[in-house]
Amino acid sequence: MSDTAIPLMAHLVAGYPDESGCLAVAEGLVAGGASYLEVQIPFSDPSADGPAILNACSKALEGGWNVKKSLDFIGTLSGRFPSTPVFIMSYTSPVLTPGVATFVKAAAKRKVAGLIVPDLPFDSDEGLAEACEAGGLCSIPVAAPSMRPERLDEMAGLGREWLYAALRAGITGSETHIGDDTLAFLDRARAGGSKILGGFGIKTGAQARVVAPHVHAVVAGSVFVETITRVLAEHA
């Protein structure tokens, strides 16, 4: 399997490094073959993210990026890349602050395909799944290898179109080891028929090739954010 044959969900932080730069990054990712875009709304306490994305969120917030500006930018991406589904990744606070239904309506208005809220449990989601179903979006639950098998089976049995599978516990951006237990976890997660988005620390083509047969798409984010940061430093 070649790298180009592996469907990729590319993660970027809205507003990083700035509006024009973020748009250029999105254009480059799509031109480079990304099948999906996952756009993170910058947040002051991104608990699942490592230093690279934490820094990107901080810079975006310092630049005046808020939820509305991020949503408007996401709407721009949806319009510019109509054949590349755009997903929102956010933490719970930006979703709950305006109200779940209000946030979902705003997301639907921007033509997004789904919402990923990693710190909102699928069985206590404050009405997110119901609001998404009403708005024509998919609420995408997040599975982790540390979950009890029964709980993972329950999540897999929800019948959601998409399911995000974190390849390990902890924060993203750190080294991820993909072993037989990881692949068994992915296979169990997809047993219910959901399209599995597998990510959390994917940085090389070799890692992607190992994961690819067990997922619908491989998710990569920190590696792109780190590249942006490095290029900015080189040209400072």
CA separation for the pair 225, 231 (Å, rounded): 10
Do 116 and 164 meet the contact criterion of CB atoms below 8 Å apart?
yes
170 vs 177: which has the higher pLDDT: 177
For residue 181, pLDDT over 70 is answered with yes
Across the chain, what does the average pLDDT equal?
Answer: 91
The first and second tokens of residue 157, run together, are 């049995």
Question: Between 6 and 151, whose confidence is greater?
Answer: 151
Segment 118-132 mean pLDDT: 95
For 87-114, what is the mean pLDDT?
Answer: 97
Helix (H, G, I), strand (E, B) or coil at 55: helix
Structure tokens that stand for 111 in this block: 């033509």
What is the pTM assigned to this prediction? Answer: 0.92
Residues marked active site are found at 38, 49
Whether the per-residue pLDDT at 111 is higher than 70: the answer is yes
Closest CA to 182 of 197, 195, 196, 165: 165
Spatial distance between the Cα atoms of 32 and 26, rounded to a whole number of angstroms: 10
Q: Where are the beta strands (DSSP E) in the chain?
A: 8-13, 36-40, 86-89, 114-116, 138-140, 142-143, 162-166, 195-199, 217-220
